[in-house]
Structure 1
């Protein structure tokens, strides 16, 4: 997808997230506070932690730094409890409760109205002190700031310039927060000769619709304010009628919204509003909200100049639709008026009036030519003469109404006919209004404008209820993103069902070159229409980027989504799409992200689905072939955490040879040992975790034993060590490797045969290998070790028992088991007491009497090595000798010398 579309997509993703954030925060804080105060249960802890985690990430990504910080603090406080599957302790519950209260305060602060003449900012006040390159990120003018400039703001002067301050946003670039600040730099100095004549009214910037909201701070008012900001309005919040009147006199807005609390004072606003409408070059509309719907209340609002009256309670979507209607006239395309009049002078008169009012007009003096011109001009309204030669206005209206495209186009009759029966006859033929000639210009403009305003309002409401393209069947992108976030904010049992599909055209660059840019857009439209036509009821599809689509499937399971996606890709591959008479076949790749993945917002889900799609395109990925076309269908699966993640990592390492070995030398302490210069190393198992951390055998082996994977790991380690021994033999450098094995190796009846075959195949002598097993504690285990040790000795392999501490168990093993080495437990080496030293001396002496050698591991310093030498230990291993490494470079002769 092109970068130029990314910012728009990011903005829509951000708006969709923010639109549903208040509900999610309210649900989260209520649950969290109830658990922190009344007691936790582990299931609620898990749900709350997951929601905190997703909202913390999304809030940080969309620039809500203060909120993200508090949520991350809650996540950190609860993470240990969740990992250890335990209930938070009282002090942790108290901390979490305080943090949830702070989250609630932040959420309330964002939704509360503040009496400042500026756009409410989505970043907290705490972030106002932050700066970048020495410049503050945001500027917030104080309340009533504009009253401090009497030399500029006067009854006869409204010379102001809008100052726009860039607010850094992590995803959508810089948002412009408009603060209208008077400045003397744009006006003559007070008292100068030109001061009176220089005063002018500055028009607002293009597409900047200014709204003043006289707010009572209610929850409903805050919701309206939030939607106004997200819709791009310049919003100023006020809490006094006098302040509102002064602002309207100075800077006329596009819309004034008055909350129900101030309805009794609405009469005071009428004169200021009338004056502003006279002076302003744009429409100044007034919307009144009321908790009463009686006729006298409505009349009082209308007499004060209200353009719209909405009784409460009301739906915020309906209020926003009404606001869009009231502010649209200066922002939308000009009205298009077709004037059908056989009298050219009358037609030119009407055309001149309407053109001066900013409308686009076309004049048709031959009624029989109307049907040929109407398709090309596509009028918003037709101004129709009643009597014309060849075809009357009523006849022409009836014919136009038969055309599907113009069945609802307003038709207004304009005639000197005074017979009311003729008026009714004309309206019955399909007309919408009747104006009598002669008509005053302002009455003509008003009649046309009001009729068109209502028509556009009706169309917009229909589109808002079903924002679907009637031709392609695809929905508006913002609507689909909003539905995704609405589902994420739904109850748990609803939010877990369904998923979204990221659908992308394969080999798009080559296809674009074949069909050309215009043809490529037509092709994508056909593909989108095909997708929409083959989706189930309730599923939504929209364009996303230059070569991709999004499909929202609210109810299917992950398996059902994968199956249906495969069928959809197959049908598209078999379809022939016609572009300018040429047939083309295409292939689609699809990535799926189920809602059960709990990723938190639409942006994260789309990223996950796109990654799954990209993974499915890799050559090593298994793809199913249908009708000769390879399908690339990928399903996002969230990475497991904790033991589950490590276990999956272990399985992947076994499949892809992902383990590796490092080696540490085992050096002799005895100068009398005839084998003191033999090269011998301990082989150590290692695995890189997903976070880059190097995992040791102590991390890997216990989990592998639980999962039944330890035999596979044992065999992998032995195979790799035999390869190393064989390679060293070819280099003329014999080496002995000590290789750790699990107890299950001793219980595996096939292990001896497998080892014998490996040695014979590689032509390796068994004495090059020493198998190291943990010292058994139970008699039955010791019997198994005994049989295993006797069997491996027959093929020349040595045996070492590790974890030995002075005592009867070790003494028995030394005396009765066929072993070659014992390796001391690290804890008895760390104990430097005289008692332990004497016990070690006796153990070493007994081992030597029975022909066993003693190894001391994890030796870190010279003092430990010297102590072990005094008690007779044969070999030491550890960082004091050499740190572990992937090579076997240690000079045993130099060390012995």
Structure 2
């Protein structure tokens, strides 16, 4: 969930107050640690604990607007490191002075923030792309308007149609939709559609993503659409598959789900601050204060990036990264370190050990959002190229098999079952033979789009091969899976696919099996395939359950 501006500032202020309230105790612990280790810097355990506490304070103070306190803590940290490697005559006196400064600065309270957090509306739209998009259709031909309504709701859009410019304008001033589908020529005039959009955008002082439809292919009509911000132009009869492609881009559905960021930091308040800032930018976060829990959280949360402190109690960020990299599933997962460490050689050592970037504490909130979102986006893009089918954007065959193995392991670990469904488009060879392979590809893409938009969060969809698809439905009994797939099957049968001489409809058949009772990848797929064969053999366009065949 995206944190609202009001809630964001309340939460950040509360975290700042909590940090301020902990300062007296933290400074007292640092002074005690210094007294216990004074004169014995070679006592690694005592002195390492002192350094860790000072490092933590130096890294977190600036985040909560205690900038000067953070600078003094950093100065103290560097002095203690020098003292550890060779006794400095003036070190003891300087340490005492710096400790006194820390106490005085803590009593003075926080300073004014150096920058305000920028909330990027476009970023929020990108991450909220899975919400149901609202499409306004302005079309005075009742048949075209009705068909547009029927086709677009199949893909999960909320559609509102208007047959007059006045009704359209009245509605849009009440609620701004995610995109517009506008006929250029209406009963009000040859260019009434483009003129209506121009008026609305001028009044609202914004550009609404728009696709124009027309029976004309002339340069003048296309130019009129472009001049009012039209980002798409489709000639009649409408190819709804092409329209769905363009709407996916305009409404942000191509962007995918919100980025998932795993924060690993043993400073609780600092981790909560980072989480709040990233949530404000539209990302989902999970916090781990003990790196020992990493391997338990990673399989379930499936992050797009790990944001990890370099120095933590129990293990360093470098050690944690090396443990993560032992697992083949996480070799490409971005790991970004956070630390006050300023020595270039230490930063390079951290990167050589499996890190991807190094951010220095305290980090500006906007810098944090930009750095994290950029790397998470790049990871998503590369991951998609490696793991997803190029035509549909769903998981490819290999990635699906790996996902199925993980789901089976999770089932027996947490005692939660799931259902596997194998789908196959009916008479697909005839589609290719009659209409050509390009049209056949559009049918495959259409089913992929339907699965992407209509499945539930947590469901996994893949193109298994050719015209065959596979679904993993977690925590879903066979009876519920059958009902869900029957609904998808009925919707798909209503989608119109265009060819040279008109439109046609396609159907698919489904076989499902569950885990348990099937306990491994081979037996589960074989059972679902056998159920699919039965669905094909008994008439197609239906769902069969493997249990029915045992």
TM over 0.5: no
Structure of greater relative contact order (alpha carbons < 8 Å, 6+ residues apart): 2
Q: Which TM-score applies when normalising by structure 2? A: 0.39
Q: Which TM-score applies when normalising by structure 1? A: 0.26
- Structure with the largest fraction of helix: 2
